[in-house]
Structure 1
């Protein structure tokens, strides 16, 4: 438990950044992406994060996971009732083009930033301090709490957002532990978020083409 104070600080700092400090800056989409990436890099350096981006095992697991997610989106778009529900989803990338949103802001502002903070840095600290079982739970919960402000800003249910993102964080953490790399969870994370951004647009295009 000698690293307990450092670990508690490592938990509190990103929660304060994501839910209080970053929103308080009042930045636009591009500013938030740059600030998040800068914070994530500094946080990983300060707490000795080890992403191991070049892991071959991480690439293999990540590509398989991402492929399954892509297939899931494809199946969902092929079902008329589900496609209609997707058609009604809000655009979560206001102020920038779809290309910029999926090519810059999701990969850098979300995936890179969150994987550097949580899977590369915080979860190894939690594992070393509390053990892998408790560390996985605490890491997933902290990842869920990181999404409080985004849920409020989007008008979503905060408890649902915490539960859903904590579940996702649990899956990402499992991949990191399985492969020893953040590449696998990053690729899965990217597939989920890019698919979530593109699927409603594809659903609307299909709906327009069929009217």
Structure 2
């Protein structure tokens, strides 16, 4: 019952963010509000801060992981940017067409306090803990990662039109939408497995939050910067 309620809340938030949200501030408001509701459901289910990986010990442990994770992600992104074959991934209109202020808002507000806060609290925090208590860590990772993949169905519909690498692989027309969405769901489900395993091994929700922000936020900033100072055209 409570897991179903959490999934229903997430489904409603997904619809609001992809169909009804107007402007970047509304997206953050929806994400923060949904996070609060999910935490209330977690409390209703009897979960503690320790269960969610958010007690004092877990936070300290996660903060020790943070600089290592950010450093690894930054190194990988810089290597990709330095290799001609990897640069196409940085040609993404969702970041490159923004002003400096909008880019900073995206990397420092929208991503951490919108995307990361909600998705990590939901999929590696509340749902993972609820399912683990009932069925064990393997089921928790599998189910939450599958739901994480499906969560990206709607937002991935336009990637083949905004990202040069995806357009090159699948085409930027209507025919490229279905394969792009399918690959996005699989890729994000696999990413969910990695994030769940990081959550399990670190014992902290801060660790997957940090990795998630590093991948999204640094990619955002580097795509914007590279379009102006590195990439041709």
Shorter-chain TM band: 0.7 to 0.9
What is the DSSP-based 3-state SS (H/G/I as helix, E as strand, rest coil) of the residue aligned with 2:230?
Answer: helix
- 2:74 corresponds to which residue? 70
Deviations 1:35-89 (A, max 9, x none): 1111112211222363416422212223222211111011112223423x14532
Q: Please, which moves more after superposition, 150-159 or 25-34?
A: 150-159
Deviation at 1:115, TM superposition (A): 1.3
| 1:165 corresponds to | 188
The residue aligned with 1:104 is: 109
The whole-number CA distance in structure 1 between the counterparts of 2:205 and 2:129 is 11
Q: Which runs of 5+ in 1 are unaligned?
A: none
Q: How many angstroms apart in 1 are the aligned matches of 2:145 and 2:77?
A: 24
Q: Is 1:203 aligned to residue 221 of structure 2?
A: no
Query: What is the TM-score when the length of structure 1 is the normalising length?
Result: 0.85
Is the 1:7–1:125 Cα contact (8 Å) retained in structure 2?
yes
CA contact (8 A) 1:123 1:135 kept: yes
Alignment partner, residue 191 of structure 1: 214
- Provide the rounded CA distance (Å) in 1 between the counterparts of 2:85 and 2:202: 37
Where does the alignment leave 5 or more consecutive residues of structure 2 unmatched?
Answer: 161-176
- Secondary structure of 2:94's partner? coil
Residue equivalent to 1:89: 92
Cα pair 1:63 1:184 within 8 Å, conserved: no
* Number of residue pairs aligned between Structure 1 and Structure 2: 204
Bigger relative CO (Cα 8 Å, ≥ 6 apart): 1
Which of the numbers 27, 31, 39 marks the counterpart of 1:32? 27
> Which residues in structure 2 correspond to 1:126-137 (within 5 Å)?
126-137=131-142
1:128-171 CA-to-partner distances (Å, cap 9, x unmatched) read: 12211111111111111111111125455211111111111111
The worse-fitting range, judged by mean Cα deviation, of 51-60 and 172-181 is: 51-60
Q: Which residue of 2 aligns with 1:10?
A: 6
Structure 2 length-normalised TM: 0.78
> Aligned equivalents of 2:110 and 2:156: distance in 1?
17
**Do the aligned partners of 2:18 and 2:155 also contact (CA within 8 Å) in 1?**
no
- The one of 119, 124, 128 equivalent to 1:123 is 128
Cα RMSD, aligned residues only:
2.4
